Structure 1
Amino acid sequence: MAEFQGVRSAAGVRTAAIDEGLRAHMNKVYGTMSVGMLITALAAWAISGLAVTDVPTQYQIGAGEYLTQLGYAIYASPLKWVIMFAPLAFVFGLSAAVNKLSASAAQLVFYVFAAVMGLSLSSIFLIYTGASIAQVFLITAIMFAALSLYGYTTKKDLSGWGTFLFMGVIGLVIASIVNIFLASDALTFAISVIGVLVFAGLTAYDTQQIKNEYIQFASHGDQEWLSKSAIMGSLRLYLDFINMFIMLLSLFGNRE
């Protein structure tokens, strides 16, 4: 009996240690993601400010608004295609190289990626009003928090969502590339609506996956791996948030 009590006590200690470690792990995931979001927001705001001027240039975009040389290079020259797809290249590059990088190097690459994403997103400040950007960001933050909390606390296994959601992302990417050439308002609306649903589902799914991965591998005691896992988890949730924000802004943002 005493032996049984000792085994149960030891199991309780291990469970408590995993729970404590999981909380620390998720705090690191959300903390790293939040820093990335802040870098993206500051980069987008700062670059948009440098790209537009009220001093007349040959690149007029509205009443009393003109593109600077930097603005023209970012938004109107062929360089815009490089900027548009640079974040995607970073995602694939970080995912492929994370096992070869140290945790600190992977974190630095993530923050550089966040800055590049800010450059790519800076044009929203030219298209939408600042008030609507702030409102949609707040809506996205509330939705994200609720969905991530659901993914963390639910007892339902969400792993079956993975294939369906992945196919949804592939479909959205293909439709978005096609719509670059079609410029269809109807297709834009459909992409935005479906995109909100897909990335809402991914927020809950990814949160549960991050939690389950920690529980599965925590007993191995590889802190370097766990640190890199937290960074990759931050990247997944960051992308869910950013994409859901973009889709909601397309639906509800007030244009300049």
Structure 2
Amino acid sequence: MANWSDPRTTPSGLGGAAAGAQDVAFDAGLRSYMLSVYNYMASGVLLTGLVAMAFAWGGADSMAAKILINGGILRYVVMFAPLIFVMVLSFGINRLSTAQAQGLFWAYAVTMGLSLSSIFLMYTGASIAQTFFATAAAFAGLSLYGYTTKKDLSGFGTFLIMGVVGLFVAMLINIFLKSTVMDLAISAIGVLLFAGLTAYDTQKIKSIYAYVAGTDMMGKTVVMGALSLYLDFINMFLFLLRFMGSSRN
């Protein structure tokens, strides 16, 4: 859900053999572009997972336990650092070089791993693995739908983003209410919202290719596309984990 444009169009053809050749070249370029997006996204998720496991290694004696539970102000640095990276990438992408955007993406994946290491202290490894594979299967299906559907999903974008804003407001409120029923409702809505955003973002990323193909912006849009899908995957995983996760206590 990065802060970037949302076109829903395809390039115009010429006609006859020229149009056919242009379409073939465009399709090949689009496949390569989307593969790059998915490679970055999947590598980012893998890096986050490896960092989270390493940081949480040792359970109660791990660095994760010492910092995220007893780390004082350092705890909040680790927790909120990923948000800073997202804001820099989302709002500063036009001023960044492709190499800088890529570096920030990898740094973001590492800081997210540090932040998410706490789930290995809260849930069993088996339930985390089960939830991860369930999320991966759902993500693959939803992203495939977003890529192949002829239906314009842009109309759902505003609704979904407003829903996410409302969801996080509800989460803040529930910190004080501590309502179990509200927590379950938030988790269910969160899964649905980020499922919808997976399809929406995939179609948006696909559409943007028509505008950036062959330009200097293509490398940066690959990173931003990967970031959007990464956020969709991670959030869907975390909300689903609240249903499927088995507590260590």
Aligned to 1:232: 224
Shift, 1:102, TM fit: 1.3
Shift, 1:75, TM fit: 2.3
CA distance in 2, matches of 1:212, 1:39: 28
CA distance in 1, matches of 2:177, 2:76: 17
Aligned to 1:36: 44
Q: How many residues align?
A: 234
Aligned to 1:121: 116
The 5 A counterparts of 1:209-224 are 209-218=204-213, 221-222=214-215, 224=216
1:133 to 87, 107, 128: 128
> What code does the residue aligned with 2:103 have?
L
Shift, 1:179, TM fit: 2.4
1:244 to 201, 213, 236: 236
The 5 A counterparts of 1:191-206 are 191-206=186-201
> What code does the residue aligned with 2:54 have?
A
CA distance in 1, matches of 2:238, 2:109: 15
CA distance in 2, matches of 1:46, 1:168: 34
1:84 to 67, 79, 82: 79
Farther-moved stretch of structure 1 (137-146 vs 69-78): 69-78
Runs of 4+ with >3 A deviation = 66-70
Shift in CA distance, 14/183, structure 1 to aligned 2, threshold 3 Å: same
The 5 A counterparts of 1:49-198 are 49=57, 52=59, 66-67=60-61, 71-76=65-70, 77-198=72-193
CA distance in 2, matches of 1:69, 1:105: 29
Aligned to 2:6: none
- 1:37 is paired with a residue whose SS is helix
Cα RMSD (Å): 1.6
Aligned to 2:9: none
**Are the counterparts in 1 of residues 56 and 64 from structure 2 also a CA contact under 8 Å?**
no
CA distance in 2, matches of 1:75, 1:87: 18
- 1:71 is paired with a residue whose SS is helix
1:12-41 Cα deviation digits (max 9, x unpaired)? 111111100000000000000111011100
Instruction: Mark the runs of 5 or more structure 2 residues left unpaired by the alignment.
Output: 1-13
CA distance in 1, matches of 2:67, 2:127: 26
Q: What percentage of residue pairs aligned between the two structures are identical?
A: 54
Task: State the TM-score, normalizing by the size of structure 2.
Answer: 0.89
Shift, 1:226, TM fit: 0.8
